[in-house]
Amino acid sequence: MKIALLQDCFRPCRIEENKKKIADFYKKASQEDADIVVVPSEAICGFEPEGLLDFNDVNDALTDIQKELIRSTNADTALVFDTPFALDGSFSPSLIIAYDGCIQHSLPQFDISPDWAERIITFHDESILFTFFSSIASLHVTQAMALMELIDTCIILDARPFTQDKELSRCQVLSNLALGIRNVIYANQSGFQNGYMLGGASCYYQQGKLRVQLPYFDKSESIFDTEETEWKRVQTLIPDTKEKMTKCLHHAVVAGIRDYFSQCGVSKAVVGLSGGIDSAVVLPLAVEALGRKNVFGIMMPSQFSTDHSVKDAVQLAENLQIHYEIIPIEPVYKAFMQQLEPIVKGTPFGLTEENLQARIRGTILMAAANKQGAFLLNTSNKSEASCGYGTLYGDLCGALSVLGDLYKSQVYDIARLINKRKEIIPENSIRKAPSAELHPGQKDSDSLPDYDTIEKVLRLHLEQKLGQKEIEEEGVSPKSVKRILDLFYKNVFKRHQTPPVIRLSQTCLDKDINLPLVCR
């Protein structure tokens, strides 16, 4: 049996484009004598179409497109796809198997019922189960065992955001299933959609062996024969070590930048370069995603900047051969302070003046982005964001938060990965103590607990749902736990207004995991 597998990002506002991708691939696969063309879940309606399905005209267009696709199928090649909720009477939420211009089977979209029979179809003398990943993942062992007795082939549709937390278990579910089912075919969406990184990594297991694996995050396709006996060796991509996970995260953020810019029709990026680790990591990621000619760096030293800040940033820009400018902020700062005289006179230097510097920088970066039709990339990380360490409308500006779902330690991991072959990021940016440089001699550690403690407390709280007392029992000092949780809850309001984050975990702080705005 010849299977054709299509992996791509299907967007809910682009149903015509989605149809074309599917129709073109179907045509090609049909010419290559494929028996079944499998596309990911939500391939026609696009990933998470919810809000759009409220509109009648969107539903009508979707219905027409599906009818067209079905009509265009021939007798030899089946097309497998799913349809969303809220369609008109002629379609209910279902998984469709179409050929010869008609729907041949329409299976309910929800979980596998105890009665497997209705989802198992005999096709080319094989018993095939057509289903969804979430249904497979929720099977008990005994159910899975029973299933293995019944079928030769399992075809699984999915549209799954990659998350660090759940990726290994996703891989495990598939490889376990493949131990008892001759053919396991998995089709997933790939690429950036609305903050999520759809994982891709669609694959084919033959008698327990991984025969085909499409890349993470990138669009791809494969046509293969389940009767084939000669295979090239497939290198599994499973990120089951810290090093492989770092590579995977690196790949994800590069793909995220690339896709978001392309979806917005923007080719250029502006990055503010402080000499610190976060911007030093964002810059090479942006260069990889967009090309060095499309990335513009700006250093904005103040009277509080150390010499090495500009030096390190310049070195980084020159290593990457990008265009950059140095724009000192002091003249603007002075002009502001003079105009603000009626408000600030007689008050000591403090938060206002620190925020002012950050906001001047944000304004310069946005001006540079506006003038060039570019997007500003935000360089804040998850450890900072969780504690509200950042200035709204200052360093929290940007069209996209590249590192917003990565802890500071992970930013360092990616920095080391980038530098693996040759020093791109100046060692000094990696080694020096983090500092916002908003007052003389400032270090992040003056206002924040150390980053390792922040990460430990947040992981225990967000991933394991432990409360204050339980976290203390894990060996963190009560003072640190209280301080970090207080900062975390006090700063929901900041995270409400920050740029969309490339989401890489189940605990991304964008939209703040359902917390109320005022949470103290």
Residue from 142, 227, 347, 422 in contact with a second copy (CB under 8 A): 347
Does 12 contact a second copy by CB under 8 A? yes
Does 289 contact a second copy by CB under 8 A? no
- Using CA atoms, how far apart are residues 373 and 470, in angstroms rounded to an integer? 49
Residue from 219, 247, 250, 359 in contact with a second copy (CB under 8 A): 359
Q: What amino acid occupies position 21?
A: K
- Using CA atoms, how far apart are residues 510 and 402, in angstroms rounded to an integer? 12
Compute the least distance from the CB of residue 72 to a second copy, in Å.
25
Does 51 contact a second copy by CB under 8 A? yes
Does 499 contact a second copy by CB under 8 A? yes
CB 427 within 8 A of CB 416: no
* φ, ψ dihedrals at 243, nearest 5°: -65, -45
Compute the least distance from the CB of residue 475 to a second copy, in Å.
18
Compute the least distance from the CB of residue 68 to a second copy, in Å.
19
Site for a second copy in 312-341 (CB under 8 A): 325, 327-329, 331-332, 334-336, 338-340
Residue from 172, 467, 474, 478 in contact with a second copy (CB under 8 A): 467
Query: Token pair for residue 234?
Result: 């497939």
Residue from 75, 117, 433, 518 in contact with a second copy (CB under 8 A): 518
Does 144 contact a second copy by CB under 8 A? no
CB 285 within 8 A of CB 254: yes
Residue from 16, 17, 24, 50 in contact with a second copy (CB under 8 A): 50
Does 343 contact a second copy by CB under 8 A? yes
- Using CA atoms, how far apart are residues 285 and 334, in angstroms rounded to an integer? 34
Compute the least distance from the CB of residue 372 to a second copy, in Å.
8
Of the listed pieces 82-90, 206-214, 274-282, 391-399, which binds a second copy according to CB under 8 A?
Answer: 391-399
DSSP element (H, E) containing 139: none
Site for a second copy in 425-464 (CB under 8 A): 461
- Using CA atoms, how far apart are residues 230 and 364, in angstroms rounded to an integer? 59
Site for a second copy in 233-272 (CB under 8 A): 260, 263-265
Size of the site for a second copy (CB under 8 A): 80
Residue 29, CB half-sphere, CA atoms under 13 Å: how many? 30
Residue from 48, 176, 180, 306 in contact with a second copy (CB under 8 A): 48
Compute the least distance from the CB of residue 90 to a second copy, in Å.
19
For the CA atoms of 138, 139, 141, 144, the dihedral, rounded to the nearest 10 degrees, stands at: -140
CA distances from residue 333 to 344, 346, 360, 364, 506 in whole angstroms, order as listed? 13, 17, 7, 12, 40
Of the listed pieces 35-43, 49-57, 122-130, 141-149, which binds a second copy according to CB under 8 A?
Answer: 49-57
Residue 50 contacts by C-beta under 8 Å, 6 or more apart in sequence? none
Residue 459 contacts by C-beta under 8 Å, 6 or more apart in sequence? none
Does 512 contact a second copy by CB under 8 A? yes
Does 56 contact a second copy by CB under 8 A? yes
